Structure 1
């Protein structure tokens, strides 16, 4: 199983259907789990998907419309029941009263300590503690205050075994070279990290839900390996999308194309469309985006693409 993958728990928008649960997406990232917008029924969908609350370290809400947050009470209470003692939660600060209602919706034996990260302003940088990634939120254009999220892994270095061997660097000295940037070789020479490694670009992921097209959408998506984005409507219903603060499949494709995205995941579909319309979402996005397009289905898993290759040295 991939260490970096998206587990799709639900793909419907405001109203669930027979085939699509309310919105819900779990990003698994090297042992960390970020649960985005758990709608109603998310707890049960997690059981079907073979994941549990121990896989969730963060709950990230884009906004407080019900299809994006009504699953919070079940998730939080399940955390306490299953012995999860710590988690983080990010949400728009303007909806803090809704968070409190969801967080304490019923009586239960509450043992989980949730570190809260209320979001305010056009851009918010979240404190991820010791996690090996940064998490940024940007305000979107929706009838209620909403944010999109961007996860960024720092650049690293891929060591070159032949270059290390040629300079006699081995064993613990390799770790010191990576940590300090230089090390003294057995022959007394100073060996630098640049001589024995090449830059490894960090991977990036963005999660963009309910919004009209706006600059922050493109900023969140820019250069991402995986873009998970709403495509509530088909292009012929662009007027409805605009009126209700949503995107079409073609608009999602445009965002991916202009951002140089590697893999585009379309989700959050209006209940007005039928199963046979699925191919039309893919086609409208692909008409403007030449990369990989995935039309998400409930309980599917979407791996984060492999790292992009760097030019030869």
Structure 2
């Protein structure tokens, strides 16, 4: 898996930070979380083809998280995209869809599905599960979690001891199928080890600190959390339903996350060194996201 940060600023661009957008490369897919203004240009610099994006997850409809979407979709169409694109977002997504399709002379010939969601399981397959969770912002806003589903380890020697011949039967058992050997039924649980925890990546969207985020981020391998303000501006964070660096660190600690990556920084700060120090006092394994930073897991 690979995470690529395309934009790490908040409401206003800076010289070095674009509006929010994050790419996840995993399970043979390219998934985009949020699509701030300028995202398609960031994709060019990151050498990622927008034609390969299969899903887009929008956290909420403030401009810094969506204004890149109309241009991205029109560019995909201009370049001859044919494959389906699925876009998820909280209540209000259909209104956004209508706005995009009626913006200028918009022409979209490839299939797009817009799906409004709430707190729920969005997708579940053999390889992964994606969930969403309402968090605490001024407008409806969702956090997202992508969790790898790992099969239990196959106990080869145990299977042999039970008389299972080496070959296709091993694969059937590992995939959860019962088999019959010489009139005896062998069940998968007889030859499989304990359940294994897969990689979990959680993205907060914009949010004030809340219990829902702590529960949702539980046991994350990487928690990507907004950190708009330093502690000295905690009153502004509370007023605008955002988090400070310390808020994010406390959520990482309480959720038993392994690593915290801070993003969505206010441009009011000339340097983010103190913001990082504040977070590390509470949760040591913290780093600051920057545009085009990559994390391989």
Whether these two folds match at TM > 0.5 is yes
* Residues 148-172 of structure 1 deviation map (CA, whole Å, 9 limit, x = unaligned): 1122333521223443454554221
User: When the two structures are superposed, what TM-score results if normalisation uses the length of structure 2?
Assistant: 0.90
- Which segments of 5 or more consecutive residues in structure 2 lack a partner in the other structure? none
CA RMSD of aligned residues (A): 2.1
- Note closer, same or farther for the CA distance 1:239–1:302 as it changes in structure 2 (3 Å cut): same
Corresponding residue number in structure 2 for 1:111? 109
Once the two structures are superposed, the pairs formed by residues 234-273 of structure 1 within 5 Å of their partners are 234-273=230-269
How far apart, CA to CA, are the structure 2 residues paired with 1:260 and 1:272? 31
* Residues 97-130 of structure 1 deviation map (CA, whole Å, 9 limit, x = unaligned): 233213553324422211111124xx2332x375
Corresponding residue number in structure 1 for 2:274? 280
Once the two structures are superposed, the pairs formed by residues 67-106 of structure 1 within 5 Å of their partners are 67-82=64-79, 83-94=81-92, 96-106=94-104
Corresponding residue number in structure 2 for 1:27? 24
Contact persistence 1:153–1:202 (CA under 8 A): yes
Corresponding residue number in structure 2 for 1:307? none
How far apart, CA to CA, are the structure 2 residues paired with 1:95 and 1:155? 32
Q: CA deviation at 1:28?
A: 1.4
Q: Is 1:193 the equivalent of 2:191?
A: no
Q: State the number of aligned residues.
A: 294
- Which segments of 5 or more consecutive residues in structure 1 lack a partner in the other structure? 305-313
* Residues 151-197 of structure 1 deviation map (CA, whole Å, 9 limit, x = unaligned): 23335212234434545542211111123443345x76544433433
Range 226-235 or range 109-118, more displaced? 109-118
Q: Choose the corresponding residue for 1:160, options 138, 155, 158.
A: 155
Say which SS state the counterpart of residue 245 (structure 1) adopts: coil
Range 22-31 or range 84-93, more displaced? 84-93
Contact persistence 2:263–2:288 (CA under 8 A): yes
How far apart, CA to CA, are the structure 1 residues paired with 2:82 and 2:275? 38
